[in-house]
Amino acid sequence: MAHRVISDDAFLEIALDLFRTYGFEGVSLKMLLDKTGLEKASLYYRYPAGKDQIVTTVAESVAAWFESNIFDLLNGTGTPRARISLVAERLKEFYLNGVKASILDVLSIQSGPEELRVVLRKMTQTWIDAFTKIATESGLDAVDARFRAEEALIRIEGSLIVARTVGSGTAFERTLKLLPDLLSLT
């Protein structure tokens, strides 16, 4: 077969889609090779530590995406309500109306490298912190703001599970609509 190339970004996007769909153990190198067109040895050239390194890189790239597309926006300018409504739109796209799973869910299962779980734990904390901050801006005291921030993330994750289990994104879309009120935003 002739040389084939695929950018690192395109590779990671395909890998993300596979991992969030089938989980770490459910994705084989063969699936990654078939979807990306790479050959096995080329994959190992890019990621010498194999699947462990790929899944960790995927999680880091998602964390980076959230950083610049969700968290920075939450901490940005404009009214809290305007910011959260834009965040809800982007979450809706990232999770494809509840069709695509959360990596905080699927990849936090006890499998794969410990380093992966560290990345996910840090991303979770950053998310809760950002929600806490925007709730605080709306006048809530620190304890209540953090409480509501955790509740908001809980409902996002929980509604994604229910969406997946019953096969309908309704619950997830309703959660997104409620986000401003959940965080008590002005």
Partner DNA sequence: GTCTATATTAAGATAGAC
Partner DNA sequence: GTCTATCTTAATATAGAC
The partner in contact with residue 41, picked from DNA, a second copy, none with C-beta cut-offs of 5 to 8 angstroms by kind, is: DNA
113 belongs to the binding site for a second copy (CB under 8 A): no
Q: Write out the two tokens for 173.
A: 């879309």
Select from 93, 125, 139, 181 the one that contacts a second copy (CB under 8 A).
Answer: 125
Which residue of 102, 130, 169, 176 would you call a contact of a second copy, by CB under 8 A?
102
The answer to whether 97 contacts a second copy (rule: CB under 8 A) is no
Residues that bind DNA (CB under 7 A): 1-6, 27-30, 37-42, 44-46, 48, 50-52
Question: Which of these ranges, 32-40, 45-53, 73-81, 121-129, lies near a second copy under the rule CB under 8 A?
Answer: 121-129
Residue 140 sits at φ, ψ, to 5 deg, of -75, 150
Burial 93-120 (b: 16+ CB within 10 A, else e): eebeebebbbbbbbbbeeebbeebbebb
Cβ closest to a second copy, residue 48 vs residue 167: 167
Which residue, 46 or 177, has its beta carbon nearer to a second copy?
A: 177
Q: CB under 8 A: which stretch of 7-15, 24-32, 41-49, 133-141 binds a second copy?
A: 24-32
Nearer to DNA, 37 or 158 (CB): 37
By CB under 8 A, the residues from 131 to 170 that bind a second copy are 150-151, 153-159, 161-162, 164-167
Are the C-beta atoms of residues 147 and 46 closer than 8 Å to each other?
no
Which pair of tokens denotes residue 139?
A: 């006048």
Q: Which residues sit at the interface with a second copy, rule CB under 8 A?
A: 21-26, 101-102, 104-106, 108-111, 117, 120-121, 124-125, 150-151, 153-159, 161-162, 164-167, 171, 175
